[in-house]
Structure 1
């Protein structure tokens, strides 16, 4: 099954984060494609007066440098979530993040206290092979994370499905900022097992429709601001005429049957729904 799992490794400088990341990457490679993100505390990846620096300094919003053996993308903005989304969009199954101890990501913490830590370890344990296998399994247990593009990868990664498909359609639900006279500042969506079970039930039911080859959904959780993505639905079918009615039904059933707890933060008041 196509998975996107995220884990962060945090600790003080010289605590062994990179050594542990190396071992975890090798272990996860047995289960899929691994992408990594490294928090660079010092210096810059784009030194002054290099050609790529001059491109960015001139106003380029993105610069890609291509060498004989590698390629690097440089953007002037720092955004951890954008980096994670890019790994997902590129078809990675795992994102191993080194650093960012103040993030909300699930963490393996080396001799340090950090929020959302799922495993505390001592620096001396880094070379314990049994521990590495435990950390691999711990990573596999993390909740799925998806972008729309990665969810489409879910469908495209199933050759027994895609060879019978002639169309793929998708829906993205986003946070609406203004409803009537109310201004929504953010939504906080709580994780709930029953919601995931209902999503799986709906997908399996819709797959029984004539000509439908696959249906997948993903409901995001956490704090989502206006314009941010809430839910993705992807439907694959033999023909486009079969696809659109089922995509519409999937949208309606998700709204009606999946009751995820939502805290809505408005300009004047806070309302609890679900």
Structure 2
């Protein structure tokens, strides 16, 4: 899933560029959009708000022509997770200047992680080239959806997943974040080989492995493994073997950032 945000000052044409970009991306994949708005999408006091007030975290209004999902959370990360569950190939975000998302900036607006600056005359083709150049934003729901799309899934009776997260408290140490670096070309080759090897095991239909790099905060996800198998007895040993082989064979280095200092784990060991 590719994610790109378009940011700019008010009345500079953000929505116009979003329209051009979405129209172009829709030629090659499924597109979702997220709008940063100060206005309420649905009015307070109606049935939807009563549902949320009663304790619902999510409510969906279904009408004869469209459906509207309302989340009690209001952060961009929650919205992106929902998008990933819809199986989209691209997400175009309008606004959210303060996020860490890669951004196309209109004019001289200031924001974090600007990957390109354009004016209102930018074409859909130009914007799409920028969006497609961004790294994939990978989530567990997206990987599960990818396994479900495998034509061989009809042979599976189970899908199992493993998620590694940043442990905040270990013994007497508190970890703020981890930073992972990898030798990208070799890491991708090794992961692909592990996936291919494990797919040869009896009863295994599919194996997908994804390991994140960069800074990952305490409690956030590090690695995802998804395995589809004919039976659960075949599935669980492959999940375990997958993570053990990733740790042993893939060149990824970890720096721990704790309250008492920072260090590369292999240096400490």
Please confirm whether the aligned pair reaches a TM-score higher than 0.5, indicating the same fold.
yes
Name the residue aligned to 2:112: 115
Among 184, 194, 203, which residue is 2:175 paired with?
Answer: 184
Superimposed CA distance per residue, residues 9-53 of structure 1 (whole angstroms, 9 cap, x where no aligned partner):
11111211111111111211122211110010x332232333323
CA distance in structure 2 between the aligned counterparts of 1:59 and 1:211, rounded to whole angstroms: 43
CA distance in structure 2 between the aligned counterparts of 1:200 and 1:268, rounded to whole angstroms: 37
Paired residues, what number?
A: 264
CA distance in structure 2 between the aligned counterparts of 1:22 and 1:6, rounded to whole angstroms: 15
1:129-168 paired onto structure 2 within 5 Å = 132-159=124-151, 161-168=152-159
1:42-53 paired onto structure 2 within 5 Å = 42-53=38-49
CA distance in structure 1 between the aligned counterparts of 2:103 and 2:181, rounded to whole angstroms: 19
RMSD: 2.1
- The two structures have a TM-score, normalised by structure 2, of 0.88
Q: SS state of the match for residue 78, structure 1?
A: coil
Among 257, 267, 272, which residue is 2:259 paired with?
Answer: 267
Unaligned 5+ runs, structure 1: none
CA distance in structure 2 between the aligned counterparts of 1:73 and 1:143, rounded to whole angstroms: 27
Contact 2:182 2:251 in 1 (8 A): no
CA distance in structure 1 between the aligned counterparts of 2:52 and 2:238, rounded to whole angstroms: 45
1:31-180 paired onto structure 2 within 5 Å = 31-40=28-37, 42-111=38-107, 112-123=109-120, 125-126=121-122, 128=123, 132-159=124-151, 161-180=152-171
Deviation at 1:174, TM superposition (A): 1.2
1:12 and 1:213, CA in 2 relative to 1: closer, same or farther beyond 3 A?
same
Superimposed CA distance per residue, residues 162-185 of structure 1 (whole angstroms, 9 cap, x where no aligned partner):
133333221111111222221112
1:57 and 1:213, CA in 2 relative to 1: closer, same or farther beyond 3 A?
closer
